[in-house]
Amino acid sequence: MNIKNLHLMGFKNYRKHTKFVFNDKMNILIGDNGVGKSTVLQAIETVLRIKNSGAYSDETKFANYINIQDKLDFEQNESLWSSFEKLPRIVIVVELNIDASLPKYMKFNGNYHPKITDDWELGDTGIVFEYKFDEDYSSEYLEYVNSVRELPDDNYTIPFDFYKAEWKTFGMEYFKVNQDPLKSIIIDNSNWAGDPFNAFARQLFKTYDLKNQKSMRTSFRTKVIDLFENDEDNNKAKYKLRINPNITKLESILDVSDSDQISIRHLGSGTENRVKTKLALENESSNLVLIEEPENHLSSANTRSQITDIQNSQENAQLILTTHNSQIVTKLGIRNIIWLKGLDAITPLKFNNLSSKTQSFFNRKDDMNFLSLINFEYTILVEGAAEYILMETFVKKILEHDYDSLSSKIEVISYEGRYYQPFAELAETTGGKTLILTDNDRDANRLEEIRKFNLEHDNTHIYSGKDIVNEWTFEACIYKENGDYIDAEQLFTKRPKKNKEYPERPERLNYMLNNKTDVALEMISKFEEQKMTVPSYIEEGIQWLVRQK
């Protein structure tokens, strides 16, 4: 039992219809800040858990989640005001994968689909949430519009008091609190407002069968009332204390403790995060666990432990989580990624079509920032520390006036290896561009391989020095174009030495090759001051990278 598909329209930044297809077990939502990862979890929670308390106690609070552009476009177009059927709305549809032949799930099966979803290709099992204009108030709404038009400023705002929030199953039945068929649990590690400890305890409580919940509440209320009813002194008094049975809620005082009976509220936020996650995943009553940023409040070591806990316990439920942690992505499998791409029009993109070889490569390369590879429009892969140290300076110098507008779109990653096919396949999937800067190692065959690679791939190109005699490595390329200046200024060392194995090699180049990091740090200012020239293959590569297709 799980969520098959999720459909959003008009909900926060999901203006147009957006469809999410979930895996049966593991789903990892990734993307830039503000793209809408948390919104996906919030949408699921809104439908399945019927957020009818706190911020949702007043239905007009849903107005805060109407897509802002839809709202502005309607309010600023007077010709639309009288067309209440065109008022902006929120539509969230959760398609369920459950056995609708069972009596308790039959109400979720049917063909009730709002007309606005006609082209969404919905199935026959699910729940619909709508926040929309209530047509029972049509006359009142038109009166309001006419009154606004009589005002000199035409100060129209959508009257959300005439809206209603409605939950219905595909079987045309109203969906109510405590009817969540998946017994979902949400863990929000990014928000610590209010009392998250009791909120989590209430979620665990609600995963019990409804009959058991009622039995426990009744038993609890009876025991509490007995505390006063059996007090002989109290019974003799004119006025006596009693318990109001209408406000005595067992779940309002629940807490969660670990195996040593220590409340999770006293374990520290990091330990609490791990305990809550483990409890949720091991809860056999729940078929769906939603986790907001499982890495929050965790050290690197504890993040690894958290990943292990998820891997070992995840089989009991469908898991949908958001993360900014590349290690979580690669360890839990990039085949499970749902990448939210774009801002104005969000497109959920999956990576399960990548070859198994490429998936395996990135899953094993957990030391590489995989999220940077896909979130940045332009990626530069370099082989060594020296190139990495100098690359930002090179990019700034080459792009000049365009640097400010492009720098936030470029990521530099240090990668040791000569296996580039996974990067090319990934770039073709994401639509980003990847520049690979490498050495030719005095190998003419390698230059030919690079030429063929570049012909075969549009979004990934390899650049290296073209001269296998004098440009075989990064430092040699720098020396070839800047050797006269380096020697004249006696840079890097006052006592350069010859290399006995390569006596023909310039002495200062020997020093550069033997002290790569120190030399790179010293060269930064020389390039910034325009005293040294960037190697031509690097300039050509960067120009290719930012060139429009």
In this prediction, residues 150-164 reach a mean pLDDT of 87
Residue 378 scores a pLDDT above 70:
yes
Please give the distance of CA 501 from its chain centroid, rounded to a whole number. 53
The predicted pLDDT at position 117 comes to 95
Confidence of residue 54 (pLDDT cuts 50, 70, 90): very low
Domains in the chain: boundaries: 50-178, 376-546
Q: Worst-scoring range by mean pLDDT, 189-198, 312-321, 484-493? A: 189-198
The predicted pLDDT at position 390 comes to 97
Distance CA 96, CA 435 (A): 43
3-state secondary structure 125-150: EEEEEEEEECHHHHHHHHHHHHHHHC
Residue showing tokens 């380096």: 486
In this prediction, residues 149-160 reach a mean pLDDT of 85
CB atoms within 10 A of CB 45: 16
Query: CA angle, corner 456, sides to 455 and 460, nearest 5?
Result: 90
Of residues 30 and 229, which shows the higher confidence score? 30
Mean pLDDT taken over the chain: 85
Distance CA 343, CA 168 (A): 30
Residue 187 scores a pLDDT above 90:
no
- Helix/strand/coil for 378: strand
Tokens in use for 108?
């979720």
DSSP strands (E only) in 376-506: 378-382, 410-414, 433-437, 460-463
Highest mean pLDDT among 43-52, 206-215, 298-307, 360-369: 360-369
Non-local CB neighbours of 304 within 8 Å, separated by 6+ positions: 327, 331
Q: Worst-scoring range by mean pLDDT, 154-168, 201-215, 502-516? A: 201-215
Residue 31 scores a pLDDT above 70:
yes
The predicted pLDDT at position 498 comes to 84
In this prediction, residues 53-57 reach a mean pLDDT of 43
Q: Which residue, 273, 292, 291, 280, is CA-closest to 317?
A: 280
DSSP strands (E only) in 170-245: 185-188
Confidence of residue 298 (pLDDT cuts 50, 70, 90): confident
In this prediction, residues 132-158 reach a mean pLDDT of 90
Distance CA 279, CA 289 (A): 10
Confidence of residue 224 (pLDDT cuts 50, 70, 90): low
The predicted pLDDT at position 152 comes to 78
Distance CA 69, CA 84 (A): 17
CB atoms within 10 A of CB 75: 15
Distance CA 210, CA 545 (A): 59
Long-range contacts of 370-373 (CB under 8 A, 24+ apart): 370/326, 370/329, 370/330, 370/334, 371/30, 371/324, 371/325, 371/326, 371/329, 372/326, 372/411, 372/413, 373/411, 373/413, 373/423, 373/426, 373/430, 373/432, 373/434
* Cβ–Cβ under 8 Å, residues 116 and 79: no
Q: Worst-scoring range by mean pLDDT, 67-81, 139-153, 299-313, 315-329? A: 299-313
Max CA pair span of the chain: 111
Of residues 86 and 233, which shows the higher confidence score? 86
Residue 513 scores a pLDDT above 50:
yes
Residue 248 scores a pLDDT above 70:
no
The predicted pLDDT at position 359 comes to 92
Of residues 122 and 242, which shows the higher confidence score? 122
Residue 260 scores a pLDDT above 80:
no
- Helix/strand/coil for 61: helix
Q: Worst-scoring range by mean pLDDT, 27-36, 97-106, 184-193, 234-243? A: 234-243
CA distances from 130 to 18, 59, 366, 413 (A): 15, 11, 41, 45
- Helix/strand/coil for 25: coil
The predicted pLDDT at position 234 comes to 57
Distance CA 135, CA 141 (A): 9
Percentage above 90 pLDDT, the chain: 57
* Cβ–Cβ under 8 Å, residues 462 and 420: yes
Residue 296 scores a pLDDT above 70:
yes
Q: Worst-scoring range by mean pLDDT, 87-101, 205-219, 260-274, 348-362? A: 260-274
The predicted pLDDT at position 294 comes to 84
Highest mean pLDDT among 170-184, 347-361, 449-463, 487-501: 449-463
Residue 247 scores a pLDDT above 70:
no
In this prediction, residues 23-41 reach a mean pLDDT of 91
Of residues 318 and 277, which shows the higher confidence score? 318
* Cβ–Cβ under 8 Å, residues 163 and 59: yes
Dihedral of CA 100/106/109/114: which sign?
A: negative
In this prediction, residues 216-244 reach a mean pLDDT of 61
Please give the distance of CA 27 from its chain centroid, rounded to a whole number. 11
The predicted pLDDT at position 2 comes to 94
The predicted pLDDT at position 235 comes to 57
The predicted pLDDT at position 368 comes to 81
* Cβ–Cβ under 8 Å, residues 483 and 450: no
Q: Worst-scoring range by mean pLDDT, 12-16, 71-75, 134-138, 240-244? A: 240-244
Residue 253 scores a pLDDT above 90:
no
Distance CA 258, CA 534 (A): 59
Tokens in use for 284?
């056999």
In this prediction, residues 424-436 reach a mean pLDDT of 92
Phi/psi of residue 464, nearest 5 degrees: -150, 170
Confidence of residue 467 (pLDDT cuts 50, 70, 90): very high
